[in-house]
Amino acid sequence: MAEELVVHFEKLLTRVDGLLSAVVTDRDGVVLLRANAPNCSPPFTESALGCTFALASDQASKLGLKKNKSIVSIYGSYQLVQFNHSSLITTFVANSNANTGLLLELGSELESVTQVIATALHERHSGAL
Amino acid sequence: METGINNILNKLTDSEGVLGVLIADEHGLCLGARGIAKASSAGFIASIAAHAKELTELKGDAVSKDDTPTISVEYGNNTILIRSEGNHTLAVWKS
């Protein structure tokens, strides 16, 4: 199943022009699923993506607007679109001129997929105890 | 700040046969939506307009303002007209 998920994520990379990488991590930064565009070496530390966003999302949830769902961060050459899907974090890394709206929609579509991963993790964790 | 855009959207929505209107910015983010148009469609609308524009640029000549394409998506009894001007993309749902 893991291979099918990776293939599914790699296909997603072709749906949006400029999308370089799709990563699913837990809140501690452990990478669960990763898909990179060919010839793309990500200029970031993957494990830092998850935990840095988790901190930012927790703080953003204290603004009185209920739970933070996503954060878009735009840099000079890149943009990060990150989603807080309960226990897992989905991160898209794309060129700064990529279509942010499409990436936001993609993340919403993937919520059901990350829910499956989260449930599987939870069951494995419960079984191990 | 958004009064101008809201006025345009309201004026378009009141036009005959118009079911919905949406304006998206260059990042595919929704600036305003009325009627049956969903804000979540902004990314797709901007993407369609951008790809259509690439088709017109392929011929190698300088692209003049008149070369901006208008895309028509027909489904059922309705049509979505999509056009980019500058950094914004407008979509109109018509019956």
Q: What is d(CA B24, CA B38) in angstroms, rounded to the nearest whole number? A: 11
Task: Tell me the residue type at A74.
Answer: I
**Residues B28, A100: C-beta atoms closer than 8 Å:** yes
Buried b / exposed e across B48-62, counting CB within 10 Å, b at 16+?
bbeebbeeeeeeeee
Domain chopping of chain B, boundaries = 2-94
Nearest residue in chain B measured CA to CA from A97: B27
Question: What was the pLDDT predicted at A36?
Answer: 87
pLDDT interval class at B66 (50, 70, 90): low
- For chain A, give the number of residues: 129
Q: What is d(CA B9, CA B34) in angstroms, rounded to the nearest whole number? A: 7
B30 touches chain A (CB under 8 A): yes
SS3 B17: coil
**Chain A positions in Cβ-Cβ contact with residue B23 (cut-off 8 Å):** none
The Cα angle at residue B29 between residues A14 and B18, in degrees rounded to 5: 110
Complex prediction ipTM = 0.84
B23 touches chain A (CB under 8 A): no
Q: What is d(CA A59, CA A122) in angstroms, rounded to the nearest whole number? A: 25
Task: Tell me the residue type at B57.
Answer: E
Is CATH 3.30.450.30 what the domain over B2-94 is classified as, yes or no?
Answer: yes
Neighbours of A49 (CB within 10 A): 22
Torsion of CA B26, B28, B32, B36, to 10 degrees: 140
* Best B27, B38, B40, B45 residue to mutate vs chain A (most A CBs within 10 Å): B27
**Chain A positions in Cβ-Cβ contact with residue B40 (cut-off 8 Å):** 105, 108
Quote the pTM value: 0.87
Between chain A and chain B, the number of residue pairs with CB atoms below 8 A apart is 33
**Over residues B26-40, mean pLDDT:** 94
Distance from CA of B42 to the nearest CA of A (A): 6
pLDDT interval class at B77 (50, 70, 90): very high
Reading chain A (129 residues) residue by residue, the pLDDT tens digits are 678 888 888 888 888 899 999 999 988 888 888 888 887 776 777 778 888 999 999 999 999 999 999 999 999 999 999 999 878 999 999 999 999 999 999 998 888 888 888 888 888 878 765
The DSSP line for B72-92 is EEEETTEEEEEEEETTEEEEE
B8 has a pLDDT exceeding 80: yes
Torsion of CA A11, A16, A18, A22, to 10 degrees: -50
Query: Pairing state of beta strands A78-85 and A88-95?
Result: antiparallel
**Which phi and psi angles does A11 have, rounded to 5°?**
-65, -35
**Residues B28, A102: C-beta atoms closer than 8 Å:** yes
Q: Tokens for B82, please give them.
A: 């999509």
B89 has a pLDDT exceeding 90: yes
CB A72 within 8 A of CB A53: no
B46 touches chain A (CB under 8 A): yes
**Residues A105, B47: C-beta atoms closer than 8 Å:** no
**Residues A101, B28: C-beta atoms closer than 8 Å:** yes
H or E stretch at A104: helix A100-109
pLDDT interval class at B79 (50, 70, 90): very high
